[in-house]
């Protein structure tokens, strides 16, 4: 422990430190999953689901901020699109965030092990990917619930879906940018 509540990697934790190789591996896993799930028309992948929806956007690609906008989009989806979208929320739209989460946690650990930070900042940097993943999973469950319940209305969920999506994207941006900023501007351990 360093003065002013700052932490430093000690020799006991050094063996568990995230190496550059581990960080690169985590990035390659994330990049590979991204390519497979987003660029190829795999069954129940983003491209296939958007095609089944007649080109209409997914809620996590283009958020809707009003109840009426959410239900207007749901009404425009075909029945095949509905079923594919539901399946997407608990298959591909779960696999990709988990791969991204692994990379973001690895990146956060890589950074906090190399700079001196207060315990609070260390925990905050490591917590960002967990909070982002929580919002992503919440968004997926909300979309699945709305799709499963349609045509019955769940106005509360429809009314907050866009805000949950916006919060998810904000947390993702913080999870990506905060660790490198601290690595560049923080005090090296």
Q: Of 44, 27, 28, 45, nearest to 36 (Cα)? A: 45
Q: Does residue 56 sit within a domain?
A: yes
Q: Quote the CA–CA distance of 184 and 28 in Å, as a whole number.
A: 22
Q: Does residue 46 sit within a domain?
A: yes
Q: Of 127, 158, 133, nearest to 30 (Cα)? A: 133
Poorest-confidence range of 82-96, 117-131, 137-151?
82-96
Which residue range forms the structural domain that includes residue 170? 16-188
Q: Residue-wise over 62-82: b if at least 16 C-beta within 10 A, else e?
A: ebbeebeebbebbeebeeebb
Q: Does residue 73 sit within a domain?
A: yes
In which residue are the tokens 């994330």 written? 30
pTM: 0.86
Q: Quote the CA–CA distance of 166 and 181 in Å, as a whole number.
A: 22
Q: What percent of the chain has pLDDT over 90?
A: 65
Q: Does residue 4 sit within a domain?
A: no
Q: Does residue 130 sit within a domain?
A: yes
pLDDT at 51: 86
Which whole number is the average pLDDT over 18-41?
A: 90
pLDDT at 115: 92
In which residue are the tokens 């690169």 written? 24
pLDDT tens digits for range 34-84: 988 888 777 878 888 888 888 888 998 889 999 999 999 999 998 888 889
Q: Does residue 174 sit within a domain?
A: yes
Q: What percent of the chain has pLDDT over 70?
A: 91
Residue 4 backbone class (left: φ over 0; alpha: ψ -120 to 50; beta: rest): left
Q: How many domains does the chain have?
A: 1
**In the chain, count of helices (H) and strands (E)?**
8, 3
Q: How far apart are the first and last CA of the chain?
A: 11
Given a cut of 70, whether residue 106 has pLDDT beyond it is yes
């Amino acid at each position: 422990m360093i003065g002013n509540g700052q932490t430093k990697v000690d020799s006991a934790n050094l063996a568990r430190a995230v190496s550059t190789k581990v960080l690169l591996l985590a990035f390659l896993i994330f990049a590979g999953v991204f390519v497979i799930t987003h660029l190829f028309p795999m069954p129940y992948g983003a491209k296939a689901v958007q095609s089944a929806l007649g080109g209409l956007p997914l809620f996590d690609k283009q958020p809707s901020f009003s109840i009426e906008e959410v239900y207007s989009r749901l009404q425009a989806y075909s029945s095949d699109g509905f079923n594919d979208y539901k399946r997407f929320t608990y298959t591909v739209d779960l696999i990709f965030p988990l791969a991204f989460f692994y990379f973001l946690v690895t990146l956060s650990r890589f950074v906090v092990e190399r700079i001196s930070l207060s315990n609070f900042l260390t925990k905050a940097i490591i917590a960002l990917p967990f909070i982002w993943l929580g919002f992503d999973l919440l968004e997926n469950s909300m979309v699945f619930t709305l799709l499963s319940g349609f045509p019955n209305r769940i106005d509360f969920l429809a009314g907050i879906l866009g805000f949950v999506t916006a919060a998810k994207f904000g947390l993702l941006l913080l999870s990506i940018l905060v660790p490198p900023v601290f690595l560049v501007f923080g005090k090296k351990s």
